[in-house]
């Protein structure tokens, strides 16, 4: 009876099919694919021909099992209130693109599951390494990351970075640079319009670092600085701004670190009788695209989302290859002057 065991209808061709087609051993095909051993040009050609003829693609699961490498990395992003969605998206895209260049794919993990999701993908060997975004100063994922056996890279800076690998824009210096620029133009009273309060409250690093940079720079430059959070939405921005200018009419320089607020701020200022940059100078910390699309075009410190994403992946790949990588990589900010900043009008309330 059943001479042949259940012989499944030939689905995808396997490496064995390729080997047969080329008249070589399975291992030879494998070596052609991986290049880990020398193979004669003739054989290689025959194997490659077979691969093409059969439309062969190695089975990812089998490969992962045998090689103990999934060639997949996890991108963990929390998606919390007040996040700057377009920036995050830019990160994500840069990460995927770069990962592909290293022949890796990207698994998207959110933190609904909390840190558990991170643990799961790492423990099941679904991924080889982990990229964590939107890191808070005291992030619950950080200790977990330390105990994991798989390498990880953070985009953002937690309070304690020992034993970790982090990449980010140097927001401290970014804040500093904004104030320095305004101070250089002659402004003596500036304000930082930051992220929504929730972002500060949960201790998100970049917000705090920028604020600190602004404060220190202001002190160093002999400038008055006030900082206040700013919620999303046209209404909220108008309220915040109105309040600010009422309480501090002398403010002539505004630093905006909140993508969602940039547009409304520029729309609201004229309505409040302040022209940009004539009465109020505005400098933003946001992706370049935003700064260029605004009207007037904004003097800004761009957030190089793309470069940060690329660097993060490169660092992770380094760690996967067992290289030693620096604990903290801080990209230097570079301020681009556009049309939204100028010397304060002498008549303005700023005069000493």
Cβ proximity to DNA: between 59 and 278 the closer is: 59
Q: Which does 113 bind (CB under 5 to 8 A by kind): DNA, its own copies, none?
A: its own copies
Nearest CB to DNA, comparing residues 2 and 246: 2
**DSSP state, 55?**
T
Q: What residue 15 binds from its own copies, DNA, none (CB within 5 to 8 A, per partner kind)? A: DNA
How many other CB atoms are found less than 10 A from the CB of residue 215?
17
Q: Could you tell which of its own copies, DNA, none binds residue 226, using a CB distance below 5 to 8 A set by kind?
A: none
Q: Which stretch binds DNA (CB under 7 A): 20-28, 143-151, 170-178, 191-199?
A: 20-28
Query: Would you say 68 or 352 has its CB closer to DNA?
Result: 68
| Shortest Å, Cβ 108 to its own copies | 5
Q: Judge if the upstream peptide bond of residue 62 is cis by omega within 30 degrees of 0.
A: no
> Of these, 21, 24, 217, 341, which contacts DNA (CB under 7 A)?
24
Q: Shortest Cβ distance from residue 47 to its own copies (Å)?
A: 18
| Candidate segments 40-48, 170-178, 237-245, 334-342, binder of DNA by CB under 7 A | 40-48
Q: List phi, psi (to 5°) of 59.
A: -80, 120
Q: Does 121 bind its own copies (CB under 8 A)?
A: yes
Q: Which is it for strands 281-285 and 253-256: parallel, antiparallel or unpaired? A: parallel
Question: Can residue 58 be called a binding residue for DNA (CB under 7 A)?
Answer: yes
Alpha-carbon distance values, 329 to 28, 56, 73, 158 (Å)? 42, 41, 20, 13
HSE-up (13 A, CA, CB side) for residue 9: 0
CA-only gyration radius of the chain, Å = 27
- Which of 61, 72, 66, 65 minimizes the C-alpha distance to 122? 72
Residues 154-193 touching its own copies, rule: CB under 8 A, are none
């Amino acid at each position: 009876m059943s001479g042949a065991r259940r012989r499944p209808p030939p689905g995808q061709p396997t490496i064995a099919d390729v080997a047969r087609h080329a008249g070589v051993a399975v291992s030879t095909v494998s070596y052609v694919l991986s290049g880990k051993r020398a193979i004669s040009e003739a054989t290689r050609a025959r194997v490659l021909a077979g691969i093409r003829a059969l439309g062969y693609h190695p089975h990812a699961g089998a490969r992962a099992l045998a090689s103990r490498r999934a060639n997949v990395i996890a991108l963990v992003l929390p998606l919390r209130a007040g996040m700057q969605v377009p920036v995050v998206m830019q990160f994500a895209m840069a990460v995927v693109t770069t990962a592909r260049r290293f022949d890796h794919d990207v698994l998207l993990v959110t933190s609904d599951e909390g840190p558990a999701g991170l643990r799961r993908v790492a423990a099941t060997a679904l991924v080889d390494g982990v990229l964590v975004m939107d890191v808070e100063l005291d992030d619950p994922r950080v200790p977990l990351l330390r105990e994991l056996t798989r390498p990880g890279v953070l985009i953002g800076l937690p309070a304690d970075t020992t034993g970790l690998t982090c990449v980010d824009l140097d927001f401290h210096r970014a804040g500093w640079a904004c104030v320095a620029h305004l101070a250089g133009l002659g402004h003596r009273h500036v304000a930082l319009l930051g992220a929504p309060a929730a972002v500060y409250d949960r201790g998100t690093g970049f917000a705090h670092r920028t604020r600190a940079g602004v404060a220190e720079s202001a002190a160093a430059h002999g400038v008055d600085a006030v900082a206040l959070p700013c919620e999303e939405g046209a209404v909220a921005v108008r309220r915040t701004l109105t309040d600010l200018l009422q309480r501090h009419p002398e403010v002539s320089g505004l630093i905006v670190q909140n993508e969602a607020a940039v547009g409304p701020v520029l729309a609201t200022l004229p309505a409040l009788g302040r022209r940009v940059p004539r009465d109020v100078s505005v400098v933003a910390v946001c992706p370049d695209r935003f700064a260029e699309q605004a009207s007037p075009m904004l003097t800004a410190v761009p957030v190089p989302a793309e470069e940060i994403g690329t660097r993060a992946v490169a660092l992770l790949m380094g760690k996967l290859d067992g290289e030693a990588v620096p604990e903290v990589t801080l990209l230097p900010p570079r301020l681009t002057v556009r049309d939204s900043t100028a010397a304060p009008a002498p008549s303005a309330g700023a005069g000493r």
